[in-house]
């Protein structure tokens, strides 16, 4: 972060020690040291006092850090989206494959176990969908761009928006087809067919 360098530069330009600046901002000398060494970040009140003391706007103090903060937030969002997507994918596969074995081995309790697993899977599906809605990513191309830290230009975004209804319908049909096939194979394996 650049704010640490800015604080140090402006403090030295005014000929202030860390202790003197700390007294003016109502924090400890250690806090000033932490800011200057990028171990912590000043809160809004401290930023306001620093801007007054240094006679510069808060914008000048934090401008270069805003881009880095956005990148960091985007990276955290991408990682969280990938984590949720991976959990949902694994659970979804388990739900598809496990219904017949649960019923075969555990009878009625197996049905309850499968329903519980299904509900947990749907919980993660809803979380993934909320994430997609929050970041306006619906098509596969948009999702891939998001997970790679990229964004689509407006023309590409408009084209992808037109594909959304078709992709959702195809996804439903493909999922249903795969579920039927897997169920039939599992029934054949367990001799129920």
Domain check: are 49 and 98 in the same one?
Answer: no
Are 84 and 28 members of one domain? no
The verdict on 22 and 83 lying in the same domain is: no
Return the number of other C-beta atoms located less than 10 Å from residue 168's C-beta: 12
For the chain, the C-alpha Rg in angstroms (whole number) is: 27
Residue 100 and residue 151 in one domain: yes
Q: Quote the number of domains for the chain.
A: 2
pLDDT at 156: 62
Per-residue pLDDT tens over the stretch 113-150: 999 999 999 999 999 888 877 776 665 566 666 667 66
What pLDDT shows up at residue 117? 93
**pLDDT interval class at 26 (50, 70, 90):** very high
**C-alpha distance from residue 6 to each of 3, 35, 71 (Å):** 5, 10, 20
Considering the domain boundaries, does residue 65 fall inside one?
A: no
- Tokens 């924090």 -> residue: 27
What is the pLDDT averaged over residues 16-38? 92
Which pLDDT score, from 0 to 100, does residue 24 have?
A: 92
Is 39 found in the same domain as 98?
no
176 contact partners, CB below 8 Å, separation of at least 6: none
Residue 69 has pLDDT above 60, yes or no: no
* Residue pointed to by tokens 């109502």: 26
Determine, yes or no, domain membership for 63.
Answer: no
> Minimal CA–CA distance to 135: which of 148, 126, 146, 144?
146
114 and 47 in one domain? no
What is the CATH classification number for the domain harbouring 23? Answer: 1.10.260.40
Angle between helices 3-13 and 44-54 (to 10 degrees): 40
For residues 48 and 75, state if they share a domain: no
Instruction: Tell me the average pLDDT across 37-56.
Output: 87
- The four Cα atoms 134, 136, 139, 141 give a dihedral, to 10 degrees, of -110
Residue 11 lies in a domain: yes
Q: Which domain holds residue 51?
A: 3-56
Q: Determine the Cα–Cα distance for residues 53 and 26; give it in Å rounded to an integer.
A: 12
pTM over 0.95, yes/no: no
Both 18 and 94 in one domain: the answer is no
The answer to the question of residue 61 being in a domain is no
CB count in 10 Å sphere of residue 47: 18
pLDDT at residue 20, as a whole number: 94
Cα–Cα distance for residue pair 121/141, rounded to 1 Å: 24
pLDDT of residue 131: 81
3-class SS of residue 115: helix
Instruction: Output DSSP code: residue 26.
Output: T
């Amino acid at each position: 972060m650049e704010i640490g360098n800015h604080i140090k530069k402006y403090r030295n330009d005014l000929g202030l020690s860390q202790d003197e600046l700390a007294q003016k901002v109502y924090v400890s000398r250690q806090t000033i040291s932490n800011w200057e060494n990028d171990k912590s970040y000043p809160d809004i009140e401290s930023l306001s006092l620093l801007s007054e003391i240094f006679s510069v706007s808060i914008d000048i103090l934090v401008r270069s850090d805003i881009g880095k903060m956005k990148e960091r937030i985007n990276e955290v969002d991408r990682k969280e989206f990938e984590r949720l997507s991976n959990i949902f994918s694994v659970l979804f596969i388990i739900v598809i494959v496990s219904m017949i074995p649960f019923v075969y081995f555990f009878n009625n309790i197996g049905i309850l176990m499968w329903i519980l697993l299904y509900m947990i899977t749907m919980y993660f599906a809803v979380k993934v969908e909320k994430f997609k809605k929050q970041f306006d990513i619906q098509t596969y191309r948009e999702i891939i761009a998001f997970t790679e830290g990229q964004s689509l230009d407006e023309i590409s975004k408009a084209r992808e928006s037109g594909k959304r209804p078709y992709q959702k319908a195809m996804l439903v049909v493909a999922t249903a087809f795969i579920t039927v096939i897997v169920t039939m194979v599992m029934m054949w394996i367990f001799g129920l067919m």
